[in-house]
Amino acid sequence: MDPFKNKLQAKIKELGLSHDQIYNADELGLFWKLLPDRTYVSSQEKNTPGRKREKQRVTFLACTNAIGMHKVKLFVIGKAKNPRSFKNFDSPVDYNFSDSSWMTATISKHWFHHSFVPQVKKSVLVISNFYMCVFYYSISGNF
């Protein structure tokens, strides 16, 4: 069996946690203006002179528990500090920004403390495909 899986199962047993206390977070990027790289149009029509490849991106972080009954509020990272689309609107997501719309260590710590911890009681968080400085916190005020 995978060494990580063995360690995780041992930690879960040691802490006496159930499946609803095990969370997984996964990060994904969306290039929302990127055109398809394949098309049914001829190559002469496809190549437009002076057109650069779009790189506008947003990053999402989704987090849920192992049984899927509790979903932490979706976290979105964009480029704008205060997006106009959020003006006079109660956003259904938690939002942060960076110059590249990428996850940074600072933003990941902000998400952990301001989004994850307030919504979750004692738990184990497994983070997939996620840039984050490895840190361990024992948070006792939320149990």
Span 47-89, pLDDT tens digits: 555 556 666 788 999 999 999 999 999 999 998 888 777 788 8
97, 59 Cβ separation under 8 angstroms? no
Alpha carbons 75 and 73: distance in angstroms, whole number:
6
Q: With bands split at pLDDT 50, 70 and 90, how would you rate the model's confidence at 28?
A: confident
**Model confidence pLDDT, tens digit, residues 87-123:** 888 888 899 998 888 888 889 889 999 999 999 888 8
Burial of 32 (0-12, 13-18, 19+ CB in 10 A): exposed
Rg (alpha carbons) of the chain, rounded to whole number: 20
Give the start-to-end residue ranges of the domains of the chain: 18-33+53-138
Residue for token pair 């005020």: 141
Predicted confidence at residue 129, as pLDDT, reads: 59
- Residue 112's SS3 state is helix
